[in-house]
């Protein structure tokens, strides 16, 4: 068990990103908070295990969405074939977690809220999305509980920001 002070000191500052990994403080792009960044080696991306870990997280997330009864409402909003969804969320989360900004490089600014406007997202959809993500994160065996709770909290805020109903 890590001492609280040590754990806190090793935590990245959760702010925003999607752009460059330089600043201590976040920048907001069009008012949309996307990520964070301070020190690359301490980024959640690296602490999670880098590229392979982000892919695994996303695969587990969509596997849960595919199978959990509670997630069938949001599953129906997605294409029958989840390959493209997996790829986009993986690329997005890579940058969001402080790794390479793969989504931005390929598609430009994600404008996440705008992209979700065609879908009805209320509390139930947000909670179903988070259920899949929390279970996926749990499976990853993150050994820094503080980082895990920060990640979940940040994802929850992002998911809540998608609500449009
Ligand atoms: C709150 C509940 C959410 C619901 C119901 C939801 C649903 C959807 C749906 C139906 C799509 C379109 C199908 C697809 O391209 O896969 C989509 C796309 C996407 N979502 Fe979500 N989403 C939610 C939250 C989030 C959150 C919190 C994130 C990021 C942390 C996110 C990231 C993305 C990305 C990156 C795409 C692809 C956008 C593109 O077309 O380029 N979503 N989402």
What number is the average pLDDT over the span 91-100?
97
Q: How far is the CA of 116 from the centre of ligand 1 (A)?
A: 6
Given a contact cutoff of 8 angstroms between Cβ atoms, the answer to whether 17 and 97 are in contact is: no
pLDDT digits (tens, 9 = 90+) for 97-122: 999 999 999 999 999 999 999 999 99
The verdict on the CB of residue 74 being under 6 Å from ligand 1 is yes
pLDDT at 145: 93
State how far the Cα of 95 lies from the Cα of 71, in Å rounded to an integer: 25
Range in 79-88, 119-128, 142-151 the model is least confident about = 142-151
pLDDT tier at 39, thresholds 50, 70, 90: low
Residue 95 has pLDDT above 50, yes or no: yes
Ligand 1 mutation pick, 35, 45, 66, 85, max ligand atoms within 8 A of CB? 85
pLDDT tier at 42, thresholds 50, 70, 90: confident
Residue 15 has pLDDT above 50, yes or no: no
Who wins on pLDDT, 29 or 161? Answer: 161
| pTM summary value | 0.83
Alpha carbon nearest to ligand 1 atom 33, residue = 89
Element housing 133 (H / E): helix 123-139
The verdict on the CB of residue 133 being under 6 Å from ligand 1 is no
pLDDT at 89: 98
Ligand 1 mutation pick, 106, 115, 131, max ligand atoms within 8 A of CB? 115
The verdict on the CB of residue 142 being under 6 Å from ligand 1 is no
CATH homologous superfamily of 4-161 equals Globins (1.10.490.10)
Please report, for residues 47, 111, 123, 142, 150, the alpha-carbon distance to residue 44 in angstroms, rounded to integers and kept in the order given.
Answer: 5, 22, 27, 10, 10
Alpha carbon nearest to ligand 1 atom 26, residue = 159
Q: Which residues contact 141 (CB under 8 A, 6 or more apart)?
A: none
């Amino acid at each position: 068990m890590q001492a609280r002070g040590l754990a806190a000191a090793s935590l990245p500052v959760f702010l925003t990103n999607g752009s460059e990994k330089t600043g201590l403080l976040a920048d907001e792009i069009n008012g949309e908070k996307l990520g964070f960044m301070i020190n690359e080696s301490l980024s959640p991306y690296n602490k999670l295990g880098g590229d392979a870990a982000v892919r695994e997280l996303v695969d587990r997330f969509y596997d849960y969405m595919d199978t959990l009864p509670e997630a069938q409402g949001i599953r129906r909003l997605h294409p029958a074939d989840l390959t493209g969804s997996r790829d986009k969320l993986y690329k997005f989360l890579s940058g969001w977690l402080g790794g390479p900004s793969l989504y931005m490089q390929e598609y430009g600014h994600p404008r996440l809220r705008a992209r979700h406007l065609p879908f009805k997202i209320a509390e139930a959809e947000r909670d179903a999305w988070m259920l899949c993500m929390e279970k996926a994160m749990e499976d990853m065996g993150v050994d820094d509980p503080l980082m895990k709770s920060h990640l979940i909290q940040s994802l929850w805020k992002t998911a809540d920001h998608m609500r449009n109903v």
